[in-house]
Structure formats: C-alpha cells, structure tokens
Chain A
C-alpha cells in the first residue's frame, strides 16, 4: 500500500499559493505544463482575479521519491477569508500537515496568521516555506526571522522555493513526505468520513468531498449523514485528480468524493460525518457547525424586467453554495426583488459579482443588515417575538418593547503598535472589551464583544487601514442582546424611501442621519424642483438637507461637429436615467442605496 500525505497550503493572497500548487501538479506529472491556464486550483474567474480561493478543492497526486517509492499527495485547498473561516477549519481538519507559504519579498502578513493558528489548533505539522526567492527584492534572512519568531522553528527548518522557476520544489516534496505525519490507516473501525466540501452537479446531485478518518467507505454501501440524519447509497466513489477517477472503496487516510443521489447541497453540509448505515460510528467527528446567514441585503434587478432572470440566477447559485439563502420581497423604491442572506460581506460581494459576470444581471443591493429579534408591547397578550431581517419591516418605535441584536466575539491579532487604533475602532463600534493577550514576537491578541451590525459596515476595511494591513480578525456569534435600536428613515421630497431605511443605535442615529442626508445630497441629481432630504426616527425629523433646483442646464454650443458627441452623451444619460429608481418624482441613482456603506467614521 502506498504511503499517503494529506496537506494544505496556507498563504496570504498573492504570496504564490496557486503557482506553487501548479508546480506540484506539474512535478508529480498530474498535468502537463501547457495543459492548464495559469492557475488550476482557482477555476472561477472571480477567484483568479481576487486571488482568493472561494471554495476549497482537493487534488490527488502521485509523487515519486528519488528512492523510486511512490507517495500519494492529497493537496487540500483552503479558502482565505474570514467569512469562510468555518470552511477553512474543516479543510484543515482533513489534513495532517500544512505548508505555511510566505512571500520572501513581502514577509509575514496578517492574513496567514489566522489560518496558521487554526492549523496549529488542529495539531497540524507546519512546514514553513519562503516563496518567490527568485525575486530581486527577496529578503530571505529577514523574512526567515519573522517565521522563526512566529512559529518558533529553526532556520534550517525553513524551505526556500520559487513557484515561478520551480527551484526548491523537489526538496519541498521530499520534506512533505518526511515531516507531515502519515494519516491513521485504521480501515477496520466503523466508518467516519469528514465532509470538507461539496459541489453540485446537475445530473448527479451533490458531489461530496470527503476525508476518510476511520474505517472504509465502499461502493454501494448504505451511508448515513450523522448531523442531518439523511441516508443514501454510495453510488460512486473516487479520487479527485484532474478528473474524477472512480474507485471501489476509500479507506481511512484517503481523500476522495462520494456521489449518492444527494439532491441538494443543503443535505451535504460541510463538517458533517458520513458513516455506514449497517455499522455506524458512535459519534460524529467533532467541530460541526450549522452555517447560518449573518448578513442580509435586498437584491433588486436594475431593470425591473429582469426579476425572473434574477430568480433563476439565485436558484443556480444556491445549487453550488448552500450558505446563500433568499426569499422574494417588494420595495416601493426598487420594485420586486429578493432578500438574501450571506455568511458575511465578502460572501455578499462575491454573489453580487457572480450575478453580474456569470448571469449578466445588473443588480442594486441595499445596505446590508443583520437579523433582529423584536419583542412587541402588547398589553394583555403574550409577548410575541418578531424576527426582522429588513429594516423597513421594523415596527414603529412606540410599539416596541425591546429589540435584540446579534453579538459576536471578535478575536483580533495585531502587531502591538496598532493596539490603539484598533481599540478605538472597536469602542466606536459599541464594542465591549474582553481581554488582551501579549504573545511572542510583539503580537497581541485582543478580544471584543461587538454587535454584528457594527461589523458588517466596513469594519474589516477600517481594521486593515488602522493597522496598515497587519491586523487579522475572526469572529464567532455569541448571543442576542437587547440594545437601544431605532429605525432611521430617509425621506426624499417628503416621501419615505424604504430601501434607504436602516436600523441603528439611538446614540448614533443623529450623526448618521446628518451624514446620510449630506451624502445623498451629493449623490442625487439636481431636479427641476428643489428636493428636501430628511432623516427621521418615526415622525421626528432629525436631519435635513436641500438639493437645490436646477438653475441652468443647457449646452452652449451645438453645431455640425457637436451633434454626434451630444447625441452619444444623451444616449448615455438615457441609459443612466433608466438605471435610476424613482420614488415619487425623485430620481435616485444606484449608488445612493449604498450610501451608508461608503461613509467614513470620522468625516
């Protein structure tokens, strides 16, 4: 039986993870040099451009050692963003080792660290790797020292490679064999296979990616998904090579896929354990979590005729992304659309971009919000709890007894010099300080409890800019807590614009209202009449601006050489006007619906 090594690559964006993975595929003969377009593991356009692996993939390679022995490599790819930290943890769980790849020119960056800590938590063997040593700006000694500080290794332990030229890659593969522990191969225990990813195939249902931890998964076997309790038959098993390669069984230590007529991704949840129906394991693999959408936003087609197209697109996206939820809703300002739930802001952005690129649907998104629990004042009746995920559905202030909002525990890792700005940011976002822990190499771990709503508004960007990109951030939901929250409405020309309502803490409502009015004044075009812009809580107007009426809007010159240019401009403006939404007689450009998002805290 061939030896197996299951490992992943942990790297900051742009530090060369994909190039290195390509090199491995090439050197193991998994794929010929010209067979792939640049970066095989990231096969969606979007991932390539962002340099983020959105969904984890896995690939099996056969490595021939200089001794002539063959070893099976299972390289498991990990997504690299905080929204997907749970998926990352499951992918790591499927490995025994990790290559910690750092760009020799850029040095250790924050994004790697959160994943590194997760990997350490899972007891993975960490192999530090300096990549891009071929670059003229490579600082091998200096960056190696950073790695030594970070993980406490010796200089000799650090590998030096270049994904681009291939230098050091052979040695690295040998080191993987030597250092990464072989997986347990106990094929006789009751089956426990960890689901670390899945993909939807229109003809075959879910293709479930698993790592067999114990026991043997056999073709035709009755299988039980321990968390969902669903039972299927393992119609097809196989290895994940450049193509799916069917096999008869997957044994403990192996990585592969299972197809069993699993209708939707909902039923093949990441982190679930597959066992055998006939001889079930006692307990599932620990660490399973149900992934719940945390951030909600309205998605509306820019062109109201595209509602059906949008519905179809969302259906198709959901097939491959069970964490996306949506339901139809109607807005006075935006017409028919959907309220969609996302894991986080990045997840939301990705969905928006995929709608644009893969389905060519232009959409307007409303300001993201979280889900609130509202207890109504209803004397004599039993108190009813309302779940509100759309600000415009928040009842009148007077009817509300109490509003609860989700709180998270945020863990922030940062070099010590940025503690100040980070704590200030957290305090501004209604955070409650929990602990602060000084670690090796001048790093500090800070914990805060924060309302999730405060985090979904550009918290991550602010954190990054406040720490020159060094701080990393991870969060876990803790509980719902009562807060003094109000609904802030925006009125244009005396008409409320439902899609511009937001739920905010009372203390912040005034400042926000003022800023919103100001911002909208910049964004809304001049009309032939004056447009009052108001922010209100219930009936109380708390801020006001006025967009003046057009006084002069006429081109001076219009002769033979101007006609074409002027008509083309007119055509462009016509398009722009079509994309605007009307509330009453006021035209509102799309950007206005995201006005809240683009406001700095300190302006």
Chain B
C-alpha cells in the first residue's frame, strides 16, 4: 500500500446554505425556492475531502472528487481541485432530478465501479435532505464494507482502523477491510484554506461530465422512478411552543432579559 499509494474517491454534494437564509416553499409545494441561496460544498464533505488529501499527502496516490448535480456544482468541484483533488467528475442528466439517496447511490456506484480505488469517502449526511444513506448504500452496491460517522482514520496494510462517533461523546474503534466506504463526520480534521495559486491551478484541471447513458443506467434507475421515497408535500414545521419575543432597542431588550432572569431568582 505504502509503495503504490492509495486511490481515493470522495463524493461531494453542492448544497444551499440554509441556516441563515430565509427559506420559501416554491409553487409546486414540494421543494424550496433555490434562487438567491448561496450554494457550497456540503459541510461534512469538506472534511471528507480534506481527509482524502491528507491521506494522499502521507501515502501518495490520487484523489478523485465526484458529484451528482447541475452545472453549478462545478464550483464545488473546483474547490476540491484547488484543495488537492487530482480529478473531478460531474454526473449530470435531466433524468437525475427527484433522485433520493438510493438513486444517488446507484448513480455514484455506476460512475465509480470501474475506477481503481482503495477508499471511498463520503460525508456522514447531506445538509439539505439529510438522508444519511448514500455512503453505506454505495458500499453495499460495491460489495465492500463500510463504517459511518467516522471521526478518526488510521490506515494499515489492507485495513482501516477508524473511530465511529456514538452518542453523548462516546466513540467506538472498529477495523474495516479495504477497500471500504467511510462516511466522515464533521470535526475529523481542520479543512485547509485554499491558496490563490491553488485556485488558479485548479482552473486548468478538467472536470469530466457524464450523463445517464455514459454510466450505463436507464431512466427507471434514477430520478423519482428509481427512488425509494417521493416527496408529496413540503410545509413549515408546526410550532409546538412559540417563544415570547422581546422587542425594543438593544438596551431595552437587555433590561428585559435581566428582569426575567432576576424574577426567577437567578441573579
């Protein structure tokens, strides 16, 4: 392994930032309005890519970033290339719309099954639909083992020793045979900043674009037809308890907060 290095595939998703944005449900009632939202690499995929690049730097080898998404997703792939990925593949087809995690996993599987790899990294979950399933399904389709929610990776001869995150701060150490799919959790490393030079160099690297026919799938395998679940309606979550809003100038708000705390006998 150490001699020939490791070939790593990283699956990355281009997702909208929604924590701070105003979300509106569109006229279909089944999706949100995407216009005006800022898209970027999915949070845990950022950590997955960084982990892949670190492994490459240590052992040698290559990193390929793969995404299923529209042309706009190129900006996420460019970011990966600038960070140290060697190649990028974008899977785009009109038939891919409406794909759930299962359909996405099938698309990724067909796109990468012919490539040489020792390790496939994905994020633990996508920040938009949060299926938490693409990685382990991909592993099942590739007939290789997997470990999810990974917080630490140590590579040995033909195996990866990883720490999986459990609840309440606990972790478990498990060993998986390579090749394997590992789904990476946030906080595993500190993703690096991209240098100007890196970005400039990345602009010259090619992004390979493949469609449905190129990867040997049919229309029934992808989109809604190839998915396990289909969204029927989208709505604003019902509010069980609504906070009482404190209004006024910052001084008035501060005074009111202190008054509430004091009335509870906490100050």
Q: Is this pair of chains taken from one and the same complex?
A: no
